[in-house]
Amino acid sequence: MISRKKWTRDELLVVLNLYHKLTFGQLHARQPVIVALAEKLGRGANSVAMKLCNFASLDPALKLRGIKGLVGASALDRALWDEFHADLNEAVPASEGALRTLFGADEGSDLEVLPNEGVRVRKRPSHGPTETTANVKLRRGQEYFRDAVLNNFGGRCGVTELAVRELLIASHILPWGTHVAERLNVRNGICLSRLHDAAFDRGLIAFDDKLRLLLSPRLKAELPQRSVAENFGAYAGETLHFPDDAAPPELAFLSQHRASIFRKT
């Protein structure tokens, strides 16, 4: 009788990291990211996909949409899910570090999870002195949030559907500095172009409860400018674009953004 290889806590931590960087429809054995992870773990892609679907069965956001995932989540799966989501600011950097170690990404490299390609590691230009441990922890969280939000939106700006990844930002709905508990919550993120991120951050645009783009009076006053008309006026009233199986932005967060950041004059 062949005994199955037991999952370790460190392995599950990496799988859970990637769970939040893929949409439910991507949790299958042919998915390039899953294939790459399975190879690094020395496991079959089917095994990794099944474990991801086990985690999906624990996801309350999916349950609200009637998606059940796979039955069979272990006690360790459940314990790690609860631990991870109880304190994202601690768990996420640890999981991101474990992922980087598994794929051999040193401190001088960037790691990106790209659903259409797999996991990409590439050297970054040197930025001088070595970062402090605290700074590394923050950057790990930011790297995770960027990949998770961009992938949740299918790698496209939610307003314009621009698909040039270098020009996309994982925008926080509730600001990073004032809402520590929601810093790494994927539902606190919207994928926007750099221009639309700046406008959202400064309260020049917002989204209503039906996820439609709102323009502030300040921005509307500038619509005679061609660039404003083409980049904002053309999309006013349109609904945010994201895949059907994505985790949608939290409406309560968007409401708070409209109340406290969106400019009324």
pLDDT tens track for 236-262: 999 999 999 999 999 999 999 999 999
Is 212 domain-assigned? yes
User: Do 5 and 136 sit in the same domain of this protein?
Assistant: yes
132 pLDDT band, cuts 50/70/90, is low
Q: Which one is predicted more confidently, 260 or 3? A: 260
Q: How far is CA 90 from the centre of its chain?
A: 16
Is 161 domain-assigned? yes
3 pLDDT band, cuts 50/70/90, is very low
Point out the least confidently predicted range of 46-60, 123-137, 150-164, 230-244. Answer: 123-137
Is 81 domain-assigned? yes
User: Do 132 and 42 sit in the same domain of this protein?
Assistant: yes
Is 146 domain-assigned? no
Q: Does the pLDDT value for residue 200 go beyond 90? A: yes
User: Do 158 and 131 sit in the same domain of this protein?
Assistant: no
**How many domains in the chain?**
2
User: Do 105 and 217 sit in the same domain of this protein?
Assistant: no
135 pLDDT band, cuts 50/70/90, is confident
Using alpha carbons, list the distances in angstroms from residue 79 to 12, 16, 73, 85: 11, 12, 10, 10
**pLDDT score, position 66:** 86
User: Do 10 and 113 sit in the same domain of this protein?
Assistant: yes
Q: Does the pLDDT value for residue 67 go beyond 90? A: no
Is 147 domain-assigned? no
Point out the least confidently predicted range of 118-127, 137-146, 153-162. Answer: 118-127
User: Do 3 and 114 sit in the same domain of this protein?
Assistant: yes
Is 63 domain-assigned? yes
Give me the chain's average pLDDT, please: 94
User: Do 127 and 174 sit in the same domain of this protein?
Assistant: no
Q: Does the pLDDT value for residue 1 go beyond 50? A: no
User: Do 126 and 232 sit in the same domain of this protein?
Assistant: no
**pLDDT score, position 2:** 39
Q: How far is CA 98 from the centre of its chain?
A: 17
User: Do 174 and 221 sit in the same domain of this protein?
Assistant: yes
User: Do 94 and 183 sit in the same domain of this protein?
Assistant: no
**pLDDT score, position 129:** 55
Up-side HSE of residue 18: CA atoms within 13 Å toward CB?
Answer: 33
Is 111 domain-assigned? yes
Is 62 domain-assigned? yes
Q: What residues make up the domain containing 252?
A: 153-265
**pLDDT score, position 127:** 56
CA 69/CA 183 separation, integer angstroms: 26
pLDDT tens, position by position, 12-30 = 999 999 999 999 999 999 9
- Of the three residues 141, 166, 188, the one that is the final residue of a domain is 141
User: Do 2 and 118 sit in the same domain of this protein?
Assistant: yes
